[in-house]
């Protein structure tokens, strides 16, 4: 898990760290860069890091490879299960 600048999801959750998605080739301790995606640990929304390392909602899921969408779905399913949110 890497420390990053505080960023706020539209749901209001403020995060100050990020982790690598399981099943990807990214090194475990890699720091995110502008353009990288993250998933809010509270609501499961997909967010994209901006140049200033804030975040904005990511709406272009169709542009991702199926393996990337699958990794995001696994993370969202885990978050929804943990929070009791129906997937």
Judged by the rule CB under 5 A, the positions of this chain that interact with Zn ion are: 9, 11, 13, 40, 42-43, 45
Nearer to Zn ion, 40 or 72 (CB): 40
Mapped onto helix, strand or coil, the DSSP state of residue 62 is helix
- Number of H-type helices and E-type strands within the chain: 1, 5
Taking the complex as a whole, how short is the minimal distance between the CB of residue 25 and Zn ion, in angstroms?
Answer: 26
Taking the complex as a whole, how short is the minimal distance between the CB of residue 64 and Zn ion, in angstroms?
Answer: 19
Nearer to Zn ion, 15 or 64 (CB): 15
Taking the complex as a whole, how short is the minimal distance between the CB of residue 23 and Zn ion, in angstroms?
Answer: 22
Nearer to Zn ion, 43 or 78 (CB): 43
Strand pairing class (46-49; 37-39): antiparallel
- Rounded to whole angstroms, how far apart are CA atoms 87 and 75? 11
Other C-beta atoms within 10 Å of 18: how many? 21
């Amino acid at each position: 898990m890497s420390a990053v600048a505080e960023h706020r999801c539209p749901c209001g959750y403020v995060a100050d760290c990020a982790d690598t998605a399981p099943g990807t080739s990214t090194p475990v301790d890699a720091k995110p860069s502008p353009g990288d995606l993250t998933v809010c640990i509270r609501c499961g929304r997909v967010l994209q890091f901006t140049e200033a390392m804030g975040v904005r909602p990511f709406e272009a899921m169709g542009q991702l490879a199926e393996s990337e969408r699958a990794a995001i779905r696994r993370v969202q399913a885990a978050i929804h299960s943990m929070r009791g949110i129906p997937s």
